[in-house]
Amino acid sequence: MSVFSLLRNLALREKFVAVVSLVIVVSMLIISGYLIKRQNEIYHQELEKRGRALAANLAYNAEYGVILESKEELENLIKGVALSDDIVYVKIVASDGRVLAEIGRNLTEKAALVPNQSDAEQSDSALFSHYLYRSEAGDDFIELRHQVRTMRKEISKENLGAVAVNHTSGSVYEKIGEVRIGLTLANLNREVSKSQTAAILLTLMVVLSAIIIMTAFVRIIVRPIESLAEITDKISKGDLSKTVDITWKDEIGMLAMSFNRMIASLKKSQQEIEDYNRTLEEKIIERTCELEGAQAQLIQSEKMAAIGQLAAGVAHELNNPLGGILGYAQFALEKIENKEIHDLKPKDMESYKRYLRDIETQSRRCKAIVQNLLKFSRTSQTVEFLELDINQVLEETLTFIDHQLMMNQVALRKTIDRNIPKTQGNPGQLQQVFTNIIINAMHASKPGSEIAISTRFLPPLGEFAGAVEVAVADQGTGISEENLKKIFEPFFTTKEVGKGTGLGLSVSYGIIKEHGGEIRVKSRLGQGSIFTIILPLEKKGISVEKQYSA
């Protein structure tokens, strides 16, 4: 995982402390490294400067001892110099390399000269030179060399015998020996090591102090931000009751003030939305009631339109039994008026009983027709789903449609499945659906054609719980593919003006949907149409009652 990935996963406080601590550590390391390096250079310069001074002093004082090659004088001279802790050895050599005096351990014999010395420092003609050596143990030391010189005067032949001679002219310095001082760097390295340790400890102390101070400071800065984050989380959950405490007047305080103003604005907006939603719900309920009332009126209007179309058939259905009732009543009344009651014979009584039974039969027939018509046209405040026999509902519908079909010279063929199970539904609404579809089929049929009505049971299969199917097929003109997509739209009709409302199929579609079923249509121009109504045995997700406003 990269450093940036780790930083992304850290909290704001940890990021701030980590970055500031890293900057402090890097800065302290750079500063400490520079100071240690500078101190090391100063120590080297001071050591070399002191060594140069000692070497120059020895070279100056050793001039006559070197000329005389007096070992005793030279050893007495270097004893005082060798007392310093940094000096490992001191020796004075002649110009030919012979050691005239020596004190201390000479390490150069088993040490290696460290390369990269400058030409000026290694030149034999230079008055002063120094060399860096490294012993077999890895210890470094420097050897400072200073020439021992003496002045040699040269007198020309012209000046021989002269009383006054210029002593400065013709004088040259001649190298007669060399002072060599070995200075160890161990003490210097120890001081540098101590400085490095002190710098590291100081860096750690500064870093720890900075981390502690930064942690406290960042806590002060981050606490309001954490409060903002906490309240933001509550706001995201819909809680607008909290506000941010303003304890600072800096940028964070200004941010908190802006945040509190935002919360107040959100509260106001939320209240306005709630008020609007409340008003909207009331308007929706009001509008829904109006739509339901309008729907109920449309359904009732369509019923009345269907009843108007069936009026002639219903009148004929009532006229036949009423004519029989009137004939039997007049015939019986005529016989009773011609004979006294005590003159009636048993044969006459049987005739009267037969007349009364026929009157009762015809009256019951009239009653059934009227009841079916009332049931069809009734306006109900509630739509009740009852257990019903779909064949019975279909037969009751056909009682006041048969005569209408006969008048239009359209034959009716029924194929009824007597083993259909009962289903849940509203008889009046289903009668309205059957009436609309059969009347439409009759209007589309030519005289002499036939309408086929069939019922059947669709058995359960898998999750399908079974259904009842009612099919109405005609041999009429058929429906075009373009109009087939529109037939269930409200007020869509292909009939002439005044002969159709365009609501029949739309209302029928809504009724079947309320029953949890569906209407399927197959049609071809010139070949007729088939309307199939499928009503499931189980009404899943369908409410038993639906309220309509009057």
d(CA 365, CA 540): 38
d(CA 344, CA 476): 59
| One-letter identity of residue 255 | L
Q: Which two tokens stand for residue 143?
A: 């050897």
| One-letter identity of residue 70 | S
d(CA 90, CA 233): 82
Residue 547 region, left (φ>0) first, then alpha (ψ -120 to 50), else beta?
Answer: beta
H/E run at residue 533: strand 528-536
Structural domains of the chain sorted by starting position, each given as residue range(s) with its CATH number in brackets:
3-156+164-201 (3.30.450.20), 287-536 (3.30.565.10)
Taking CA 429 as the corner, what is the angle to CA 426 and CA 435, rounded to the nearest 5 degrees?
135
pLDDT digits (tens, 9 = 90+) for 63-99: 888 888 888 888 888 887 777 777 888 888 888 888 8
> Which residues neighbour 216 within 8 Å (Cβ) at sequence distance 6 or greater?
none
d(CA 92, CA 100): 6
Strand ranges in 8-118 using DSSP code E only, listed in sequence order: 87-94, 99-104, 112-113
d(CA 40, CA 45): 9
- The pTM for the full model equals 0.40
Q: What is the pLDDT of residue 390?
A: 92
Cα(first)–Cα(last) distance of the chain, in Å?
73
d(CA 11, CA 18): 10
Q: What is the pLDDT of residue 238?
A: 74
What is the DSSP secondary-structure string of 17-33? HHHHHHHHHHHHHHHHH
Q: Which two tokens stand for residue 351?
A: 């005739």
Ranges of residues in the chain with a pLDDT under 70 are 1-13, 107-111, 116-125, 154-170, 246-248, 295-321, 323-324, 328, 331, 339-344, 348, 362, 365, 368-369, 371-383, 495-502, 539-550
| Burial (Cβ within 10 Å: 0-12, 13-18, ≥19) of residue 450 | middle
